[in-house]
Amino acid sequence: MSLFWRIFGLDAAGLVVAAALLLGPVTVSTPVLPGEVLVVLGGLAALLTVNAVVLRVGLAPLGRLGRAMADADLLRPGARAVVAGPVETAELITTYNAMLDRLETERAASAAGALSAQERERHRVARELHDEVGQTLTAVLLQLKRVADRAPEVLREELGQAQEATRAGLDEIRRIARRLRPGVLDELGLLSALRSLAAEFTTHGLTVRHELRTGLPALTEETELVLYRVAQEALTNTARHSGADRAELRLRPAGDGVELLVRDNGAGLGARAGEGAGIRGMRERALLIGAVLTVSSRADGGGGDGTGGGTDVRLLAKAAAAPATASPAAHGGPR
């Protein structure tokens, strides 16, 4: 029964009872007798109680819908309000769930276009840095060497410092170009790219161990790129914000896909309110391939590896639809 008919029926029942009392033997004296007051107040209380119960039961689904709307997050798809209650409320909840379906589909499509454009721009900038700026600095380095060979002894030390500064700038540009567009991912595959990434982040203050299983199921190029970018962003967050001195990078088969885990022994997420742009960017990338991303803290040392607290970034990605036709590169082999 709809909410309208429930309330209408209750009000109609109350009016019918009141009319029956007026037409029946029940009378109200003047002045009103105590027994008559009790009868009237009892009937009024019963009517209000039934009305409150009907409204509470009928409006409860709207309260649940309001809480679901407040908690909705397009970066965590799949959560839907439970369809229940009177006809009008059930139709409203169904319409809201359908709207969420459309929003998630449109969000995924727009995010895919934006991130695809971002990857193309990264590739263009990396190529220009490598081809244009890198070659220019290489030419400057050669010119400095020729000048240093012919310069007086008093100037050679300064020219040597200029050479070192130019060489350091060239190395930095090459490093930036590699991070913008991981050439090793295109050339040697996912496993080699992740090993290179772990080595890149292993510095004097941070040690990154990797455990990369072989025999992975076939993965699409988009999935490989998302796995690499999520690992890159997670290690960047570890190096910049966590204060950790140890991190682990793991990739292994899991169910019908693969599981990527980046774990550190840093401060965790407790001290930071909400999620930053890095984590939201990882969630955007996970949505592109239908993967599930979870970010959690281990303040109580729940990692089980002796690292104490820290943060776990876990990505579950599905394998390609047709693994039988996959190339060896999907398993980390040479392309």
Query: Residue 186 to residues 121, 229, 335: CA-CA distances in angstroms?
Result: 16, 13, 7
Query: Residue 187 to residues 117, 228, 334: CA-CA distances in angstroms?
Result: 21, 14, 7
User: In terms of C-beta density within 10 A (0-12 exposed, 13-18 middle, 19 or more buried), how is residue 119 classed?
Assistant: middle
Cite the DSSP H helix spans in the chain. Answer: 3-23, 34-71, 87-128, 134-150, 153-180, 183-188, 190-201, 221-237, 277-288
pLDDT at 300 exceeding the cut of 70: no
The pLDDT score that the predictor gives to residue 212 is 92
Going 303 to 307 to 311 to 317, the CA torsion angle's sign is negative
Q: Is the pTM of this model over 0.75?
A: no
Distance between CA atoms of residues 250 and 239, nearest Å: 17
Distance between CA atoms of residues 235 and 197, nearest Å: 9
Model confidence band, residue 28 (pLDDT cutoffs 50, 70, 90) = low
Tell me the one-letter amino acid at 238: T
The pLDDT score that the predictor gives to residue 211 is 92
The pLDDT score that the predictor gives to residue 324 is 43
Query: Residue 216 to residues 191, 199, 257, 320, 333: CA-CA distances in angstroms?
Result: 10, 21, 8, 11, 11
More confident residue, 208 or 321: 208
Distance between CA atoms of residues 264 and 203, nearest Å: 14
Task: For 96-148, write each residue's pLDDT tens digit.
Answer: 888 888 887 787 777 777 777 777 787 788 778 877 888 888 888 888 888 88
